[in-house]
Amino acid sequence: MIDPDSVPAAGDPPEFHADFLELSVFKSAERSVSIHAYIRDLRLSNADEAAADAVDDTDAETDDGADYSEPLAESAFSELDDRTQACGGSGVDHYPFEITANRVALCDNAESSLYTFLALLSWFGKDAGPPGTDGEKLFEEVSAQVAAAYLGGPNPDVKWFVFGFPRRLTTAKGFKDALDTLCRAIGEGQGHHKGRPKLPDEKDAKLDVVAWREFSDRRQGKLINFGQCATGRNWAGKVTELPQTVDWCTTWMADRPGVWPIRSFFVPHRIDAANWFDTCVKGGLLYDRCRIASLTARLDGALKGQCEAWSQHVLQRIRTN
């Protein structure tokens, strides 16, 4: 959880400083924040002293009294530039901020952007939205449609399925029934493994979303994506929870798919550069906040509306506090 009233520490990564800048823009009456104002805030929060303490003794002797606030702010703005590119540009269906050399400002209708929903979910958690809504389940719906979009959807041959527990009213409640429904939908696997005993914590066996692309012949052997979602700040501990798809299918399906599915990992966070490669290796195809936002133009309008309502509730709360 991010503290909207406390400037990040000097040792925090640029991604965290960039998150704080975005949140500050949402709270600002001017709908923008300048790099000069952020440098001032860093100085007021004693970021210089904290950064100076972090360097080694040799550096401290040569750089005693140096101002570390400016490079910290510049690193944060550089990260904002990277986000703009990763989201596919500025705009409500991409990155909802405009970045110049010395200022970050909200785009028109930024509150409607799916990026805004993802950022607020990352910063304040799944329960921050209106009563009776679950940000985590909304994120699973988003992730399933984003996985389909990456496969070329919306397209009659591209399908998606939310498998995660608790299940939707339109999906079978029990694990075995849900797996049978999934296997029928993808035309692979022959349903659940009838000889496999039920485990106490079975629920969804860590599989949250599935997307696949059909061929016109509808035969076995197609591109299938198995995905896991993690909305909490403890996402790093969940990267390997979804087993390799060979093991998952062998354990739970009556027969193997013609081609083993690929694994994916979905988070509403901006994964820092230092952990990016390792997360891909452990979790599979990585969809972070920016990658998801780059595909949001292809999402269902009704789902976008639900995410916008969730965001509006959170924004109203943080702007009045």
The residue ranges of every structural domain in the chain are 14-112, 135-299
pLDDT score recorded for residue 169: 46
Q: Are 223 and 259 in contact (CB under 8 A)?
A: yes
pLDDT score recorded for residue 60: 39
Instruction: Find the radius of gyration of the CA atoms of the chain.
Output: 22
* Residues forming beta bridges with residue 152, ordered by sequence position: none
* Residues forming beta bridges with residue 264, ordered by sequence position: 227, 285
Q: What is the pLDDT of residues 261-282, one digit of tens each?
A: 999 999 999 999 899 999 999 9
Segments of the chain with pLDDT less than 50: 47-48, 51, 55-66, 169
The residue type found at 117 is F
Q: What is the pLDDT of residues 174-200, one digit of tens each?
A: 888 899 999 999 999 999 998 777 665
pLDDT score recorded for residue 175: 86
Q: List the Cα angle 305/311/317 in 5-degree steps.
A: 140
The answer for residues whose C-beta is within 8 angstroms of residue 115's C-beta and 6 or more apart is 87, 94, 95, 96, 289, 290, 293, 296
- First-to-final CA distance of the chain: 16
pLDDT score recorded for residue 168: 62
pLDDT score recorded for residue 65: 41
Which is nearest to 161 in space by CA: 171, 169, 153?
171
